[in-house]
Amino acid sequence: MSAKKIIPAVVMMLMIAVASTVFFLERREVAASACTACKRELHPGWVFTLAMKNGGQETLCCAKCGILERLEKQSQVVSARATDYETAKTLPAEEALYVYNSDLEHCAVPQKRDWTDHQPVHLAWDRCVPSLLAFETRAQAKEFQVVHGGTVLDYNESVEWVKSGPPHH
């Protein structure tokens, strides 16, 4: 084969190799910054992490997703950490205070309308809705609640509300 044919072939193979590497790294970057459970984008002030018995860690997009995942994998979880919404400081999930059902829902997916047999299909359930935000102190949670609504709960109350929804009066 002549040099005129080899050089373009080598250049083409290098271009394919570079494009493949960039594609792989970009996909890895997205995967590393996505929720383990729902695959949504991670927001620094909302992250909830689970330390697993196998030595691994699961990073969840929000406390609601994190508590649901902890409930689903109870026997595999060693501990959980919530992120304070205001300071981004992490703390043991059981020590945090939470605001449930505020007007902030970074994780919410806009209602998408797909058509099946010409009938609209609406989102009926969203794992991350209503929102659940963690705070280090009751004062922070109350201050946030005044502006954004919701209900201030401790960890155990949050778990109960996540499992069954708010109590009916």
Are 28 and 43 part of one and the same domain? no
Residue 169 forms part of a structural domain: no
In sequence order, the 6+-apart residues with CB closer than 8 A to the CB of 48 are 59, 60, 61, 62, 63, 65, 66, 67, 80, 81, 82, 83, 93, 134
Residue 25 forms part of a structural domain: yes
d(CA 106, CA 87): 17
Are 24 and 43 part of one and the same domain? no
Q: What's the domain count of the chain?
A: 2
pLDDT of residue 97: 97
pLDDT in tens, 7-46: 766 666 666 655 555 444 444 444 458 888 888 888 878 8
Are 6 and 67 part of one and the same domain? no
What is the overall mean pLDDT for the chain? 80
pLDDT of residue 11: 61
Residue 132 forms part of a structural domain: yes
Are 42 and 77 part of one and the same domain? yes
Distances (CA, A) of 87 to 34, 44, 45, 83, 107: 21, 10, 7, 8, 19
Residue 46 forms part of a structural domain: yes
Are 66 and 134 part of one and the same domain? yes
Are 22 and 42 part of one and the same domain? no
pLDDT of residue 22: 46
Are 45 and 4 part of one and the same domain? no
Over residues 1-5, the mean pLDDT reads 66
Distances (CA, A) of 158 to 93, 94, 119: 10, 10, 36
Sheet holding 151-153, edge to edge: 132-135, 97-100, 151-153
pLDDT of residue 118: 61
The pLDDT confidence band at residue 70, using thresholds 50, 70 and 90, is very high
pLDDT of residue 12: 65
d(CA 58, CA 42): 12
pLDDT in tens, 88-127: 999 999 999 999 999 887 766 554 445 556 666 555 556 7
Residues in the chain: 169
Contact 123, 132 (CB under 8 A): no
Residue 104 structural domain: 36-164
Global pTM exceeds 0.95: no
Q: What burial class does residue 97 get, using C-beta atoms within 10 Å of its C-beta: 0-12 exposed, 13-18 middle, 19+ buried?
A: buried
